[in-house]
Amino acid sequence: MRGNKFCFDLRYLLVVAALAFIYIQMRLFATQSEYVDRLAAAIEAENHCTSQTRLLIDKISQQQGRVVALEEQMKHQDQECRQLRALVQDLESKGIKKLIGDVQMPVAAVVVMACSRTDYLERTIKSILKYQTSVASKYPLFISQDGSNPDVRKLALSYGQLTYMQHLDYEPVHTERPGELVAYYKIARHYKWALDQLFHKHNFSRVIILEDDMEIAADFFDYFEAGATLLDRDKSIMAISSWNDNGQRQFVQDPDALYRSDFFPGLGWMLSKSTWSELSPKWPKAYWDDWLRLKENHRGRQFIRPEVCRTYNFGEHGSSLGQFFKQYLEPIKLNDVQVDWKSMDLSYLLEDNYVKHFGDLVKKAKPIHGADAVLKAFNIDGDVRIQYRDQLDFEDIARQFGIFEEWKDGVPRAAYKGIVVFRFQTSRRVFLVSPDSLRQLGVEDT
């Protein structure tokens, strides 16, 4: 009886223990599931937090980049504002009205393009002021500096007779070809900025462009005043230049002689506001002078140039690294005769008149052929003409005489309808004539 009761109690205890064990296991499983769910939720929340943190970091980085860019922009604008304030103060102290006169309209603004050559610039300013002071109301003088060289700025501001402008360019320069000089790109930018300022801001009708390594002739301003009349009358004239590429002493004689040319001479030149309005929107990134020599840009228009130069370029050291200086620039003759341009009839230079005028000169010249062109020209009295076959033949003949051999876009330097004219030894003129030149001039080849 007791044995049976003991067995029953043991079974009962085992059942209770089993039930308790099952209950505990169920609670543990439920607790583990709850913890797993909480852990998954925590991991998900952590991932979301990490993602949001990264987004916040990215936004902060972007904002920091914008802040840096804005700070840099503000720095540049602050510098420009200081320069503008200085320019305004300079203009107010001198007064544009005083520079150009209260009544008389100026013939042209004169701008000297400068950068960092203080000694050259001083020599140029002194040369200009020597002849400009008496005609300052007709030719207000500006110095346009590219960059922030303090010595150039100080020098320019020391002259009360001129107005100082400063071009500050912080845009990086990307050259189009390896090995190119950055200077040519910066020069082109400076020219565009300065001419935009003078034509569009100051509203001048004409501008004469000089560089900071030039001296001018005594009749420089009278010459350009006469040229301004031609520029206004004849729209086939793109610019007036004071320069002759073949203006070396041995090749010139007549200070009164002027010519039309299909080749842009540069080095002291005047253009009109209407022409600049056409050129400014498409101004090149670099090599602006060679760009003007392209037929697509001058579009059949020509340039007036003198036989004897009205500017002298003394800049052996500069962006061109002294190219051609010893051979072509140093021997240039600067005009030393006071020509009375006001009394001269220059109507022969108008397009409708010039073809006949120049054609008559070429027609009267005696043709010479064969080798030893220099010797044959020397032994003939009066003008001569020599026909070249092509560019290589021209270069060979030019080399014999010592004139410029270079061509741009199919046009020799200083040429008009393929003809290059220069003096040789005496007043004798030599005409180097292309195979098609006589036809263009309406001259029969006799």
- Could you tell me the residue range of the domain that residue 187 belongs to? 109-349
Residue 22, domain member (yes or no): no
Output the pLDDT for position 3: 56
Q: Are residues 221 and 248 in the same domain?
A: yes
Q: Are residues 135 and 219 in the same domain?
A: yes
Task: Classify residue 224 as exposed, middle or buried by CB count within 10 Å of its CB (0-12, 13-18, 19+).
Answer: buried
Structural domain ending residue among the three candidates 332, 349, 366: 349
Report the C-alpha gap between 422 and 431 in whole angstroms: 7
Q: Are residues 241 and 216 in the same domain?
A: yes
Residue 271, domain member (yes or no): yes
DSSP state of 248: B
Which residue type is seen at 11? R
Output the pLDDT for position 158: 98
Q: Is 23 helix (H, G, I), strand (E, B) or coil?
A: helix
Q: Is 334 helix (H, G, I), strand (E, B) or coil?
A: strand
Residue 165, domain member (yes or no): yes
Q: Are residues 277 and 406 in the same domain?
A: no
We report the CATH number of the domain holding residue 367 as 3.10.180.20
Six-digit token string for 111? 């701008």
Report the C-alpha gap between 293 and 299 in whole angstroms: 10
Output the pLDDT for position 199: 98
Residue 145, domain member (yes or no): yes
DSSP state of 198: I
Q: Are residues 380 and 344 in the same domain?
A: no
Assess contact for 115 and 155: CB atoms under 8 A. no
Q: Are residues 340 and 363 in the same domain?
A: no
Residue 320, domain member (yes or no): yes
Give catalytic status of residue 102 as yes or no.
no
- pLDDT < 50 regions, the chain: 92, 102, 319, 321
Alpha-helical segments (H) within 288-419: 288-292, 295-298, 351-364, 373-378, 391-401
Residue 363, domain member (yes or no): yes
Output the pLDDT for position 1: 54
Q: How crowded is residue 188: how many other Cβ atoms within 10 Å of its Cβ?
A: 18
Q: Are residues 384 and 322 in the same domain?
A: no
Structural domain ending residue among the three candidates 327, 349, 371: 349
Output the pLDDT for position 148: 95
Q: Are residues 393 and 262 in the same domain?
A: no
Q: Are residues 357 and 344 in the same domain?
A: no
Residue 195, domain member (yes or no): yes
Q: Are residues 344 and 360 in the same domain?
A: no
Please, what's the b/e burial string for 410-442 (b: 16 or more CB within 10 A of its CB; e: otherwise)?
A: ebbbbbbbbbbbbbbeeebbbbbbbeebbeebe
Assess contact for 213 and 115: CB atoms under 8 A. no
Residue 36, domain member (yes or no): no
Q: Are residues 245 and 370 in the same domain?
A: no
pTM of the full predicted structure?
0.79
Output the pLDDT for position 313: 95
Output the pLDDT for position 81: 65
Q: What is the CA radius of gyration of the chain?
A: 40
Structural domain ending residue among the three candidates 349, 374, 403: 349
Structural domain count of the chain: 2
From the candidates 289, 336, 360, 393, which is the catalytic residue?
Answer: 289
Predicted confidence (pLDDT) per residue in 142-174, tens digit: 999 999 999 999 999 999 999 999 999 989 999
Q: Are residues 299 and 375 in the same domain?
A: no
We report the CATH number of the domain holding residue 202 as 3.90.550.10
